[in-house]
Amino acid sequence: MYTEQVMEHFTNPRNMGEIPDADGVGEVGNAKCGDIMRMYLKIEKGIIVDCKFKTYGCASAIATSSIATEMVKGHSINEAMALSNKAVVEALGGLPAHKIHCSVLAEQAIKAALADYYKKQGIDSEPILGVLSECESCESCASCEKQ
């Protein structure tokens, strides 16, 4: 069902944990739907110097969180903003169709953490990141799955 890369990240997740003095924290998903992703970012001079995650969810939720932290760590804010769910899926060698929403959550979690970073800086993130959609119900995930 899962690729080797997914199983590898699921069994050995990278950057799992918290950053107590994080510059930005973002959480998406909800318990009712069965997945919650939280991303922590440490940002210095526009560079993401550290990124950690905590995730409640299935193997693909854990794997997408794990690989997303690797894909933004050491990169600039602009590069992190450009991270797409498609890139996450590709990096994992693919995901089953009904698990694509996990990659959408990973992308959203990074963006939510960046939005929190801007907020803490007193900057309105909306012109930069756009309006972040809230994941409130399983119905909103149903729309993710069509992607």
Partner 1 sequence: MQNSNFIYADNAATTKLSPQVLEKMMPYLTEEYGNASSLYDFGQKARTAVEKAREQVGIAIGATAREIYFTSGGSEADNWAIKGVAHALKKKGKNHIISSAFEHHAVLHSLDSLKDEGFEVTLLPVHENGLVRIDELKAAIRPETALVTIMFANNEIGTVQPISEIGEVCKENKIIFHTDAVQAVGNVPIDVNAMNIDLLSMSAHKFHGPKGMGALYIRKGISFRNLIDGGSQERGRRAGTENAAGAVGLGEAITIAVSTMDDRAQKMSAIRDKIIDNALKIEHSRVNGDRKNRLPGNVSLCFEGVEGESLLLMLDLKGICASSGSACTSGSLDPSHVLLAIGLKHEVAHGSLRLTFSDENTMEDADKILEAIPPIIERLRLMSPLWEKIKREEGNK
Among all residues, which ones are annotated catalytic? 33, 102
Instruction: For residue 123, count other CB atoms closer than 10 A to its CB.
Output: 12
Tell me which residue of 112, 104, 110 sits closest to 48, measured CA to CA: 110
User: Is residue 146 a contact point for partner 1 (CB under 8 A)?
Assistant: no
Quick one: CA dihedral 123, 124, 129, 135, positive or negative?
Answer: positive
User: Is residue 87 a contact point for partner 1 (CB under 8 A)?
Assistant: no
Alpha carbons 52 and 70: distance in angstroms, whole number? 9
Alpha carbons 65 and 63: distance in angstroms, whole number? 5
User: Is residue 32 a contact point for partner 1 (CB under 8 A)?
Assistant: yes
User: Is residue 27 a contact point for partner 1 (CB under 8 A)?
Assistant: yes
User: Is residue 111 a contact point for partner 1 (CB under 8 A)?
Assistant: no
Strands (E) located in the chain: 24-30, 35-44, 47-56
* Single residue of 56, 70, 75, 76 touching partner 1 by CB under 8 A: 56
Stretch near partner 1 under the rule CB under 8 A, chosen from 42-50, 111-119, 126-134, 138-146: 138-146
The least CB distance from residue 108 to partner 1, in Å, is 14
Helix (H) or strand (E) segment spanning residue 81: helix 77-81
* Single residue of 9, 38, 73, 111 touching partner 1 by CB under 8 A: 38
- Residues 6 or more apart whose Cβ sits within 8 Å of residue 136: 30
Region 62-81 residues binding partner 1, contact defined as CB under 8 A: 62
* Single residue of 4, 12, 21, 31 touching partner 1 by CB under 8 A: 31
Binding footprint of partner 1 on the chain (CB under 8 A) = 7, 10-11, 13, 16, 27, 31-38, 54-59, 61-62, 98-99, 138, 141-142
